[in-house]
Amino acid sequence: MEASKEIRGLRREVTQLKWCVGGLVAGFLVLGILGAGGSVHRELTVRQLTLIDEEGRSRVVLFAKANDMAGAAFLDPEGRNRIEIATALGKNGDYAGIQLRDTNGVHRIDLKVREGAAFAGLGDAAGNAVSHWKSDPNEKAGR
């Protein structure tokens, strides 16, 4: 009887050791996969980076398009682009700008700098300009 108790105890210890060794092996594998346990990666190269919320919805998108546009888009919970910050080479020239859109996707506030000129515009719910200002790059300050 006493011998069978000892055998059961030894079996239990062997099982526990197997689990410990398995856990150690898994831990070392994870550390190896993650970069040898603490190395710092100083560069990440991607075409697009998307941040998602707790429910898996895209909320912030950093993007770059070849010879066209690079920027960041901030999306609402329904995935609609609400704020876009970008620099682009478009049909009207090189520009940098910020656009704010309403829940229907209509540009309501548009701020841009293009080739020395600045532009600020406000739009109504239909996207029609209701107020805008544009600087004249040839105009001297103070006049």
Q: Selecting from 3.40.50.1220, 3.90.930.1, 3.30.750.24, 3.40.50.1980, what CATH number does the domain 48-134 have?
A: 3.90.930.1
**3-state SS class at 46:** coil
Give exposure, 21-42, as e/b (b: 16+ Cβ within 10 Å).
Answer: eeeeeeeeeeeeeeeeeeeeee
Calpha distance 135→143 (Å, rounded) = 12
So where are the chain's domains? Answer: 1-39, 48-134
* Placement of tokens 């594998």 in the chain: 29
| Residues 6+ positions from 120 with CB-CB distance below 8 Å | 109, 110, 111, 132, 133, 134
| Spatial distance between the Cα atoms of 62 and 48, rounded to a whole number of angstroms | 6
pLDDT in tens, 1-40: 676 766 776 676 666 666 655 555 565 556 556 555 455 6
Considering only 7-11, 38-42, 82-86, 138-142, which range has the smallest mean pLDDT? 138-142
Q: What is the pTM of this model?
A: 0.61
